[in-house]
Amino acid sequence: MRQQLTYLGLVLRALFELVRYDLIHTVCGFGPIRNGLIKQATKQAAKQMVVDADCERIICDAVLLATCLYWKPVLCLQRSVCAVRLLRSYGIPAKLVIGYRPAPFLSHAWVEVDGRVVNSSPGYKQRLRVLCTV
């Protein structure tokens, strides 16, 4: 892997991404966050890297730890956006998926890599309708 994958570095980057999300969302809403993910996916297509099999798990674990250390509650959308940005920065083709159930209403966001849920329970994929994929 070209980039050094250190756990502490990943946790710090995840904390940075959580702060970045909060700032952008507070000032501009979700639109710029979505547009940034679309741009990142386009750039990433040209930059596929070879990563080891544990890389996805390590990155998702680092994001989870960062959410525990964050000073306010982190919801699934913020956590998933952060995980997608970090996974893509290491060349992993991650997708943000937002799903819902109409009645009784439930919504959830998760990350998929090659059709597999990597940061949440796979049960959401079967139980919820997909609203958006970025």
Return the minimum-mean-pLDDT range out of 41-50, 82-91, 114-123, 125-134.
41-50
For the stretch 99-129, pLDDT in tens is 999 999 999 999 999 999 999 999 999 999 9
pLDDT at 4: 53
Provide mean pLDDT across the span 43-48.
59
pLDDT at 13: 95
Q: Is the pLDDT of residue 2 over 50?
A: no
For the chain, how are helix, strand and coil distributed in percent, rounded to 5?
55, 15, 30
Q: Is the pLDDT of residue 60 over 90?
A: yes
| Structural domain boundaries in the chain | 7-133
Provide mean pLDDT across the span 74-87.
96
Q: What count of other Cβ atoms lies within 10 Å of the Cβ of residue 108? A: 21
pLDDT at 30: 94
* Number of continuous H segments (helices) and E segments (strands) in the chain: 5, 4
